[in-house]
Structure 1
Amino acid sequence: MNQEWMSVLSDPWAVVGLVGQLLFFSRWIVQWAASERIKSSHVPLSFWIISLVGGTLVLIYAIKIHNLVFVLGQLVGVANYSRNIVLIKRARRQVSET
């Protein structure tokens, strides 16, 4: 591994950002597997939770490096992922009450 990559991995904040990006990337695998399981397009709750965790880590990193472009983009995403989690949980609660 070259020196530039090693220096990134030795920076704890860069590792936070990298882990966030890897988590965020991995969410499509979860969605794909869930859809294949039921043979229809499906976005499970776990997709949104992974999105929220990954997006939050990237947001923290963006704040740390003072990158307004990434901060604004991640804020919108984190709000969206949070809202979807709330909507799914609310719908599940309503179904269980009936």
Structure 2
Amino acid sequence: MSQEWLWITIGFLGQALFSARFMVQWIASERAKRSIVPKAFWFFSLGGGATLLAYALYRQDPVFIVGQGAGLFIYVRNLMLIHRESRLEQETSRS
């Protein structure tokens, strides 16, 4: 496999992960009968965003690099907030 095909494969993998997050969110919302954003949405966002950032760096596309790079901070921050909320809920339930 040539290096170009490897990077195209990585790009498509990143896009598939990034797109899967919408399926996860839609299915979770349908099951709950309300709009929700499950933790898996943020993990797929992080995985897809990181993979797409690697692809954008390879392509040397500054617009794509800034867009995916900025998104990674948002995804990590949301996971940090979810973790903190879970930890506080556990501490409250122990009291």
- TM-score, length of structure 1 as denominator length: 0.88
Aligned amino acid, residue 85 of structure 2: A
Query: What's the secondary structure of 2:34's corresponding residue?
Result: coil
1:14 Cα deviation from its structure 2 partner: 1.1
* CA–CA distance in structure 2, aligned partners of residues 87 and 28 of structure 1: 20
1:74 Cα deviation from its structure 2 partner: 0.3
Aligned amino acid, residue 11 of structure 2: G
- Any residues of structure 2 matched to 1:16-95 within 5 Å, and which? 16-95=10-89
Write the deviation string for residues 10-61 of structure 1: whole angstroms up to 9, x where unpaired: 7101111110001101111100111111111000000000000001000001
Q: Which runs of 4+ in 1 moved over 4 A?
A: none
Work out the percentage of aligned pairs sharing the same amino acid.
Answer: 46
* CA–CA distance in structure 2, aligned partners of residues 38 and 25 of structure 1: 21
Aligned length: 91
